[in-house]
Structure 1
């Protein structure tokens, strides 16, 4: 009697583009990135210079790319299957090692941990891609080929990563790692085009749009939570006094307003847009993989400003405080504005965000010129966020735009 072939048990969710819930393991995985984001902001705070900013940018780019590719993998892979669980836990360990190495990734011997950072990053990116290619090969051959191209694409950037880790010249390491990241970030745009392997199309990426939107929204929460932790830790480390209490309250209000600006309108509209789009993979690439990066980066940089104002709330404003607060909020508002444009059926950029960007540019320039008090400058930047939040809320919930339009039409008539 012929032996019966055991039924094939797929490692994939097989959601067909429908809803895929965020698993508890994915939330557990995110805890490492709470630590990683904290490491990035701490690195920038300890090396508050243009070189330090460039190094922190490279580190943040690697952190975001590692988290984002794991999010894509978890969108397809079924976390209830043991092999997938093991893959995510191993990825979690590699992410932890990467985060531990980050503060000394650009240090010189004997404190140099650049090679440890690079090896953990490459092991995570290449290893996860190979696992997903094998997991998809039987059920999703086209998507599996995308994973093969991704693994090859990361392998092509490996010489720059390793070469940078082996050099002891800080500027050379920074340049080589930046080249590696630029090449990797070009991958999704180029469809991971490679000789003999061809290229991938966004139509090949059958993802769960709701899962992608929820995961990215949760990462915004992670970044905002890191700012809250920085604020609380710095406030607890020094005796409470009038200016420091004021700075603490302003930092908290600023974090709350940043949450409000993203989640009041943008998050829900973006989720509906990707869920109903004919090519959710294209939206996930443009609106979430790329455009959420400046949103998170802005939150991280503004957390550095929170730490600076709590360290010394008295006295005149410093250049570092102006650049981190105005710079972080500018990047945040710009990223949020472009993201919301994707979810807007009219394709409009929110006027409130553009006004906020203009106000921050004016505030930053004036503060560098006139040198107001640190607490006064910080309070004004929070007022700008409040203006943006109230303007947008009134536009979408209070019907201000419609009323103004009717008023102009009535006068014109």
Structure 2
């Protein structure tokens, strides 16, 4: 629950088996990332080459990381208090600069992207450090550890922003490597050592809901792309079927994630004695491929809607099959982390998508989209029936 804690100033009071609601300030902050996700999908659509995909992957990893780190901090701090709200509003400004820089981040606006990203990561962590009362030594040490790691990565972000072409890419890959390794390395720094698992306790229900809302953001972006593209086209039978297939596919993805998985994850992490460890694995790392798969599927939706007939080219095959494939890989690993076993339905779905890829070039984009949607429906129905039978 969220409370005014005289011993923790701006900190939440974390109570086992209680679920703090997501605040309106957090939801308002998330609006910036609706725009960021749209920018990422459009960047991939317009730069769908091998090097373009690498560039977009770097940008997406940055967007996800700055959002999920903010979710961690607002899990500990109380967003109902004015200073924390002002932090989120300042982060929104940085997020808008970050998002608007995405299309040309590897061209003219690289330095803007780097400055916005580094300022958000370092500034938010510095705020957390200064908001922590002196007597909360373990929390302050954690904040210092994270601030050190993010400050080191910020140097590489800025150097990349100042560099050009391949040098920029390598600087930014190094920056991401530092940041993505840091939680697994428990933010070790000289003098302070490793962070303890006990120090990372989170309000599990709140963390689960925050990440579920980001999945909604990604699904919402897919629906927006689908609707906006369809509205601009002549409504032929092929386009209508492609539109329906895309929408049903998004619904199936929602069903696969939310019908059983999201609720089970929230319940499990709320009861876990090691909520921090589970949040790091299941929500910080394993939600990344879930969101990435949805974004890639949104790219497929636009490609198929615009060109439903003929043979599927490589862009269409990679996005139409790759999106659901990455999504199912993410969900099967997420549910393994929270349930302790692999979902057979998801495994079969993954195998069917891989089998479909063997002859995808001989299938039209429209029917390739219909086939992947049917596979997602199969996974959703299978899981619902099998888990319903177990209950």
* Same fold at TM > 0.5: yes
Matches within 5 A, 1:38-77: 38-77=38-77
Taking the aligned partners of 1:123 and 1:159, their CA distance within structure 2 comes to 11
- 1:334-378 Cα shifts (integer Å, max 9, x gaps): 11001111221xx2100111111110011012113xx22221111
How far does residue 318 in structure 1 lie from its aligned partner after superposition?
1.4
Given candidates 102, 111, 115, the residue that maps to 2:111 is 115
Query: What is residue 85 of structure 1 aligned with on the other side?
Result: 85
How far does residue 325 in structure 1 lie from its aligned partner after superposition?
1.4
Query: What is residue 189 of structure 2 aligned with on the other side?
Result: 194
Query: What is residue 267 of structure 2 aligned with on the other side?
Result: 272
Structure 2: stretches of 5+ with no match in the other structure: 1-5
Query: What is residue 287 of structure 2 aligned with on the other side?
Result: 292
Taking the aligned partners of 1:187 and 1:393, their CA distance within structure 2 comes to 37
Query: What is residue 345 of structure 2 aligned with on the other side?
Result: 352
2:204–2:275 contact (8 Å) kept in structure 1: yes
Matches within 5 A, 1:384-395: 384-395=375-386
The count of residues paired between Structure 1 and Structure 2 equals 385
How far does residue 8 in structure 1 lie from its aligned partner after superposition?
7.1
Given candidates 244, 250, 260, the residue that maps to 2:245 is 250
How far does residue 141 in structure 1 lie from its aligned partner after superposition?
2.3
Query: What is residue 162 of structure 1 aligned with on the other side?
Result: 158
How far does residue 183 in structure 1 lie from its aligned partner after superposition?
1.2
Taking the aligned partners of 1:9 and 1:290, their CA distance within structure 2 comes to 29
Given candidates 148, 152, 162, the residue that maps to 1:152 is 148
Query: What is residue 14 of structure 1 aligned with on the other side?
Result: 13
- 1:56-111 Cα shifts (integer Å, max 9, x gaps): 1100000000000110111111112111111111011111110011110011xxxx
> What secondary structure is seen at the aligned counterpart in 2 of 1:191?
coil
Taking the aligned partners of 1:297 and 1:8, their CA distance within structure 2 comes to 40
Given candidates 355, 367, 391, the residue that maps to 1:376 is 367
Taking the aligned partners of 2:109 and 2:388, their CA distance within structure 1 comes to 51
How far does residue 312 in structure 1 lie from its aligned partner after superposition?
1.0
Q: Say if 2:134 is the partner of 1:135.
A: no
- Find the structure with the greater CA-based Rg: 1
In the superposition, the TM-score normalised over structure 2's length comes to 0.96
Query: What is residue 360 of structure 2 aligned with on the other side?
Result: 367
How far does residue 13 in structure 1 lie from its aligned partner after superposition?
1.6
2:320–2:368 contact (8 Å) kept in structure 1: no
- Judging changes above 3 Å, is the alpha-carbon distance between structure 1 residues 374 and 9 closer, same or farther for their aligned structure 2 residues? closer
Query: What is residue 3 of structure 2 aligned with on the other side?
Result: none
How far does residue 313 in structure 1 lie from its aligned partner after superposition?
1.1
How far does residue 197 in structure 1 lie from its aligned partner after superposition?
2.6
Taking the aligned partners of 2:153 and 2:185, their CA distance within structure 1 comes to 15
Query: What is residue 388 of structure 2 aligned with on the other side?
Result: 397
Taking the aligned partners of 1:372 and 1:167, their CA distance within structure 2 comes to 43
Taking the aligned partners of 1:68 and 1:187, their CA distance within structure 2 comes to 14
- 1:200-226 Cα shifts (integer Å, max 9, x gaps): 122111210010001011111000000
1:150–1:192 contact (8 Å) kept in structure 2: yes
Query: What is residue 210 of structure 1 aligned with on the other side?
Result: 205
Taking the aligned partners of 1:306 and 1:201, their CA distance within structure 2 comes to 44
2:8–2:133 contact (8 Å) kept in structure 1: no
How far does residue 19 in structure 1 lie from its aligned partner after superposition?
2.6
Taking the aligned partners of 1:375 and 1:205, their CA distance within structure 2 comes to 47
Structure 1 runs (4+) greater than 6 angstroms displaced: none
Taking the aligned partners of 1:16 and 1:153, their CA distance within structure 2 comes to 29
How far does residue 398 in structure 1 lie from its aligned partner after superposition?
3.8
- 1:264-301 Cα shifts (integer Å, max 9, x gaps): 11111111110110010111101100010110011011
In the superposition, the TM-score normalised over structure 1's length comes to 0.91
* Deviates further, 78-87 or 34-43: 78-87
How far does residue 258 in structure 1 lie from its aligned partner after superposition?
0.2
* Deviates further, 33-42 or 131-140: 131-140
Structure 1: stretches of 5+ with no match in the other structure: 1-6, 403-413
How far does residue 137 in structure 1 lie from its aligned partner after superposition?
3.1
Query: What is residue 409 of structure 1 aligned with on the other side?
Result: none
Matches within 5 A, 1:266-345: 266-344=261-339
